[in-house]
Amino acid sequence: MPIVQADRLTRIGAALLRAAGASDEEAKAVAVGCVNANLAGHDSHGIIAIPTYIDRVKAGHIVPGAKWTIVQESPTTTVIDGHWGFGFHVNAKAMALTIEKAKTANVAACTVFRQSHVGRLAAYPLMAMQEGMIGIATADSGRSPKIVAPFGGREARLGTNPISIAVPSDLDAPFYLDMATSAVAAGKIALAVSRNEEIPKGWIVDAEGRHTTDPGEYKKGGALLPLGGSEGYKGSGLAAMVEVLCGLLTGLGFGVEPTGRHNDGCFMAVFNVAAFRPLKDFKKEVAEFARYLKETPPSEGSTGVFYPGEVEYIREQQRKLSGIEIEDATWDKLRELTAEYQLGAELDFR
């Protein structure tokens, strides 16, 4: 597997997206967002996704340069139609506007619909965190094909419906949660297939509803399981609530759209910490709280406690130095695309 530095990977991703029709701004938003996911260790949402996004542009499912419209708003709320633009770009603009509203109103929320995949969800709450605010985001996949079976079922009826919350603190590693409500993100199954690896039991069931460690069974009619193993009803419940916020509140609805077009509905909310208590005190106490958690003696077999977001930060520091390992199947796809767009020499692909 090649090991590639983050800046080269970003250059490759952005050049391919531009060649596929994205504007400079869109290409940068998507490529940086994907490579940030790789840096954080979420390879399932990294550069591996760019060939899929290009396929969706070719199919007309993603519309480069799509205009962005507000269909309803108040001083604290906004409903945004992404007109099938790149989710990374549309959703970041939606969060930026929500933060601006919260600067005046202290609390603001938005819904976004008709946009493509938003990638690593943490990217958006982290924008609020940088402004001294608490950011919350949830996302579903609109009425695109479902992949998670509700607890007790064998057929997919839910998306992987992630939740992310980021809070400001004095810590070096940002304190944020970023998780799918399925046992894992769907991209991790695709990654295991690309890497020819088995997956742990409890991630998927096959088409007959049997537990399996073969990731290939997922594409043969299997389904992801909700978060929580034998207590998966809690993951299932969280996923259902995310669907209500992102599918029903946005007006996208539930179920599957026959065209199969990917449609990341999003609900995001921002709270200005200073409206509740002095930001400086809050940031200090969150850092103390994280240290308090970490001081717990490790349980058997554990290397110790990590607070939410810490694992990603550690990986990011390592990968910024060591580069990012890219599975051969993904690298080959990127090479094919550079050949298709005659960018091989410019991007130093041999």
Ligand X SMILES: NC(=O)c1ccc[n+]([C@@H]2O[C@H](COP(=O)([O-])OP(=O)(O)OC[C@H]3O[C@@H](n4cnc5c(N)ncnc54)[C@H](O)[C@@H]3O)[C@@H](O)[C@H]2O)c1
- Applying CB under 6 A, which residues contact ligand X? 42, 45, 117-122, 139, 141, 160, 162, 164, 177-180, 184-185, 188, 264, 306, 308-309, 311-312
Q: Which is nearer to ligand X, 101 or 308 (CB)?
A: 308
- Contacts for 265 with CB less than 8 Å, ≥ 6 apart: 111, 112, 113, 139, 140, 141, 142, 246, 247, 250, 252
Q: Which residues contact 105 (CB under 8 A, 6 or more apart)?
A: 75, 76
Minimum gap (Å) between residue 101 Cβ and ligand X: 23
Give min distance, CB of 31 to ligand X, in A: 16
Instruction: State CA 195 to chain mean position distance.
Output: 21
Given the complex with ligand X, which of 36 and 272 has the nearer CB atom?
36
The least distance separating ligand X from the CB of residue 349, rounded to whole angstroms, comes to: 28
Q: Between 44 and 78, name the residue whose CB sits nearer to ligand X.
A: 44
- The smaller minimum CB distance to ligand X, of residues 93 and 188, is found at 188
Q: To the nearest whole angstrom, how small is the minimum distance from the Cβ of residue 17 to ligand X?
A: 17
Which whole-number Å values give the CA distances from 37 to 33, 42, 155, 191, 343, in the listed order?
A: 6, 5, 29, 14, 24
Output the smallest distance, CB 178 to ligand X, in A.
Answer: 4
Structure tokens at 209: 């509803």
Question: Greatest CA span in the chain, whole angstroms?
Answer: 56
For ligand X, which residue has the nearest CB? 121
Specify whether the CB–CB gap between 119 and 258 falls below 8 A.
Answer: no
Nearer to ligand X, 101 or 232 (CB): 232
For residue 26, give the amino acid letter: E
10 close to 32: Cβ distance less than 8 angstroms? yes
| Residue 247, token pair as written in the block | 């599918």
* Rounded least distance, CB 287 to ligand X, Å: 16
Is 321 exposed, middle or buried, given 0-12, 13-18 or 19+ CB atoms closer than 10 A? exposed
Shorter beta-carbon distance to ligand X: residue 10 or 144? 144
Nearer to ligand X, 46 or 222 (CB): 46
HSE, side-chain direction, 13 A CA sphere, residue 76: 8
Please, what is the minimum distance in Å from the beta carbon of residue 73 to ligand X?
Answer: 24
Residue among 119 and 135 whose Cβ is closer to ligand X: 119
Angle at 252 between CA 248 and CA 254, to 5 degrees: 65
In the block, tokens 């997956």 appear at 199
Give least dist CB 264 to ligand X, A: 6
